[in-house]
Structure 1
Amino acid sequence: MSESKLVTIAIHTYEKAQILKTLLESEGIETQLHNVNQIQPVVSAGVRVRIKETDLPKALRIIEDNKWDQEEKDVPEEKPSHPSDYVLIPVDFSEYSMKICELGFNFAHRKGLNVVLFHVHFTPIGSAFFSIGDAAMFQVPVETNLSKELAKANRQISKLKKELRERVAAGELPEVKFTSIIRNGTPEDVILSYSRRHPPVIIIMGTRGKSRKDSDLIGSVAAEVIDSSRVPVLVIPEEVPFNDLKKADRVAVATSFDQRDMVLFDSFMELLGSHINASIRLFNISTSTPEWNEVQLKAIQEYYKHYYPNIDISYNPLDPGDFSLALEKFIRMEDIDMIVVNTYRRNFFSQFFNPSMARRMLFHAGTPLLVMHGKRS
């Protein structure tokens, strides 16, 4: 491929990346596959599909015309194989996985739910190549890689489960029935696929903190899950100071003045309302004039207070101008402990060119984010 600037059009498992590569090349678009994890390519977090920037418009048309990657996202809801009576907690065994589990266990205990600890490891299909410098290259059988990664994952999940049982026995965590599942694949794809087949009450997962570079966040697993999930997703950043949602005293609820927001507010109250002792702060994510924003916020406040008279509900219009700066100022000034935002499933072009508001909040606010999901817009 020439020296033209390359852009990443997708990140997939090795199999799906190869299929997309074949599709694009059949239309005359040169395509490269790159491991996401360049340090340990055999244990990649996924495969980047890269093309020339000049080919991007054509590639997007091809993808849209061929309904690429829509077979799972647009399938009808499947009847779950078991009741939706559990909390799904994806874990990656990072340092703060335990805090995610603490939040999940406390929530599950109050709701009378079980917990599923879910870990996804990635091993490419086919043989992997290792190179040292520009000289040596040797092939590693994928069966060996898969076996090693699976054994490692089993050791790590066993250690985590042992620590959780010890903390339950010590009275540090509530007693909750839990199990674990290990799968191979690209984390976001596998998490979404499993949650569609076995819908949980909620997915509780972590994400990198706001101190990390934005470039590290853009392809994060959490961002992909909140965009495509069909169930509520609670995303916990590294720096969250509490391990129980009961300690979230001030909850900010976003509204775009859409009728669907009112329906999803009811869903939020059903999910968390009786399990938190929080005051609610409504804020706008619309681009209306400040005066009109305040009028609409006041109307919504009165509507919610009519149906939830025992909840402290107020509103705070965001400052006009840069959304990220206004949001961070609002969170800081109001001492917000958690943000609730609604998102709606959108088509491919909307997802590619217009990141969801939930995704933008994920990148800019080091605050727990609860994403409620509506129907396709």
Structure 2
Amino acid sequence: MKKDRLITLAIHTYPKALILKGILESQGIAVTIQNVNLLKPVISPGVRVRIHEQDLPHALEILETDPVFGKSDTVSEKPQKNRILIPIDFSDYSLMACRLGFDFAAAHQAEVVLLHTFLSPFTMGSLSLAETISHELKESEEHKLLFAKANREMTSFCEKLHQLMVEGEIPQTPFIYRVCEGVPEDTIILMAKELNPSLIVMGSRGKTQKEIDLIGSVTAEVVDYGNFPVFAIPEGFKYTHVSDIKNVAFFTNFDQQDLISLDTFMRLFHDYSFGIRFFHLTEKSDAWTEIKLAGIRDYCQSHYPGREIDYKIIGEDNFLDNVERLFQEASIDVMVVPNRKRNIFARLFNPSIAHKMLFHTDTPLIAIPS
């Protein structure tokens, strides 16, 4: 396929097509408006909005986030600074998240924001007036102690990071920190809405430990929120530099949103050299599935040249075991999953692939909102 061939992005009335043309051209995308009926050289009720094929992923992302042409509630305001958000709890896997997060931030000239959240154990019950006053005084003192303890731990953690910078273990990257009280997953999501980070980097525990956490995992809650890219790093991850990642698995369902997620991922990690293997989950493989996967491979080879591209079909029977086996065979370092924002019922009764993989594998996961 030629990269410069024109494709039809949408068909609208002429006034609406002009609005869309202005939006796309303001983002550097060349647009051509063409009559639907080429036999009659007049402006017909419906006109084609055509763009170059290579601009399709960017154009689709603009359509998804535009208040007129899309339905996304993703934060649209761009931050003044490029930021990487790293929630921490001072554990070893938080330190691993910082190693990778600081490496990524240095490569993208981004500022790191460390976030620690603590939860006060005090709750108000049915108390008399005298008991209420006593309880409030005790709670106030306890809150001060908890806040002071969290700040001391954060200061100690930051000193450790500065020491690692001096020793050359992590890059000299500017960072700030915040200590907040609240439910961790809710606080992380609120902070992400405020900062609009290009990436959230979080530590997650090993496979055997995660199995007991079920839906209560903080990382799982942030991933399921689905509005920001999340890099979830398990405790045993052996790499400390993103450039060490050589093989990436990308899960696809042949959805238009997958194309947007792929483009978002490639723009985040375009400076790194890695191969991509596409995985598709299906009950029954057929010729059409093979054709679509081959089409994705050809698309990637055309739009992201120089990368090794391959694909694999996975049966739904023993899905998790099959994935783990294929990951070992292909030496997969990181998996990428397009992720949609889901309500609580969907998460309980039909967990996303991202949620399943987060709990049943020790391979790092990058969830890309779609």
> Given the two structures, how large is their TM-score scaled by the length of structure 2?
0.74
- Partner residue, 2:120: 123
CA contact (8 A) 2:249 2:334 kept: yes
- Using the TM superposition, give the Cα deviation of residue 229 of structure 1 relative to its aligned residue in structure 2, in angstroms: 3.7
1:143 alignment counterpart: 140
Aligned to 2:64: none
Distance in structure 1 (CA, Å) of the matches to 2:73 and 2:340:
16
Distance 1:78 1:298, change over 3 A: closer
The one-letter code matched in structure 1 to 2:300 is Y
Supply the AA of the counterpart residue of 2:189. L
- Alignment of 1:365 with 2:361, yes or no, is yes
CA distance in 1, matches of 2:334, 2:78: 32
Give the corresponding residue for 1:155.
152
Offset, 1:316: 1.9
Look up the SS of the partner of 1:188 in the other structure.
helix
> Residues 147 and 166 of structure 1: is their aligned pair in 2 closer, same or farther, counting only changes over 3 Å?
same
Q: Distance in 1 between matches of 2:369 and 2:275?
A: 22
* Corresponding position of 2:323: 327
Alignment of 1:278-293 (within 5 A): 278-289=274-285, 291-293=287-289
Residue aligning to 2:178: 181
Q: 1:237: which partner in 2?
A: 234
Task: Tell whether 2:209 aligns with 1:221.
Answer: no
What is the rounded CA distance, in whole Å, between the counterparts of 2:144 and 2:192 in structure 1?
25
1:81–1:197 contact (8 Å) kept in structure 2: no
Q: Is the 8 A contact 1:127 1:142 kept in 2?
A: no
SS in 2 for 1:205: strand
Shift of 1:236: 0.3
Whether 1:171 and 2:168 are equivalent positions in the alignment is yes
* Counterparts of residues 67-106 of structure 1 (less than 5 Å): 82-106=79-103
What is the deviation of 1:211? 2.1
2:197 corresponds in structure 1 to 200
2:256 alignment partner in structure 1? 259
Q: Distance in 2 between matches of 1:284 and 1:356?
A: 14
Q: Distance in 2 between matches of 1:104 and 1:370?
A: 13
CA distance in 2, matches of 1:320, 1:353: 17
- CA shift, 1:332, in A, is 1.2
Tell me if structure 2 keeps the 8 A contact 1:125–1:142.
yes
Judging changes above 3 Å, is the alpha-carbon distance between structure 1 residues 288 and 193 closer, same or farther for their aligned structure 2 residues? Answer: farther
CA contact (8 A) 2:226 2:342 kept: no
Q: After TM superposition, give the deviation of residue 188 of structure 1 in Å.
A: 0.3
> How far 1:172 sits from its partner (Å)?
1.9
Quick one: distance in 1 between partners of 2:257 and 2:300?
A: 13
User: Deviation per CA, 1:294-353, whole angstroms, max 9, x where unpaired?
Assistant: 332212111111111211111122245121111111111111100000011234432332
The 8 Å contact of residues 202 and 233 in structure 1, kept in 2 or not, is answered as yes
List aligned pairs for 1:15-34, cutoff 5 A: none
Q: Which amino acid aligns with 1:241?
A: K
CA contact (8 A) 2:282 2:313 kept: no
Change (3 A) 1:79 1:253: closer
Picking from 333, 338, 350, the partner of 1:337 is 333
Residue type of the alignment partner of 2:243: K
Bigger drift between 207-216 and 256-265 goes to 207-216
Mind listing any 5+ residue stretches in structure 2 that lack a counterpart? 1-70, 127-133
Counterpart CA distance in 1 for 2:366 and 2:72 is: 25
Distance in 2 of aligned mates of 1:294 and 1:128: 61
Q: Which runs of 5 or more residues in structure 1 are unaligned? A: 1-73, 130-137
Asked if 2 retains the 8 angstrom alpha-carbon contact of 1:253 and 1:282, the reply is yes
Query: SS state of the match for residue 240, structure 1?
Result: coil
The answer (yes or no) to whether the contact 2:93–2:205 under 8 Å persists in 1 is no
| Corresponding residue SS for 1:118 | strand
The residue type paired with residue 200 of structure 1 is: P
Tell me the distance in 2 between the aligned counterparts of 1:95 and 1:144: 30
Q: Give the drift of 1:280.
A: 0.8
Out of 233, 243, 246, the residue aligned to residue 246 of structure 1 is 243
Label 1:78 to 1:230 Cα distance change in 2 as closer, same or farther (>3 A).
closer
**In 2 relative to 1, CA 78–281 (structure 1 residues): closer, same or farther, beyond 3 Å?**
closer
Task: Say if 1:121 and 1:184, in contact at 8 Å, map to a contact too.
Answer: yes
Q: What does the per-residue CA deviation read over 1:354-373, in whole Å, with 9 as the maximum and x for residues that have no partner?
A: 11111011011111100000
Q: Report if the CA contact (8 A) 1:257-1:286 is conserved.
A: no
Is 1:110 matched with 2:114? no
Q: Is the 8 A contact 1:87 1:203 kept in 2?
A: yes
How far apart are 1:219 and its partner, in Å?
1.1
Instruction: Choose 1 or 2 for highest CA Rg.
Output: 2
Aligned CA distance change for structure 1 residues 77 and 312 (closer, same or farther; 3 Å): closer
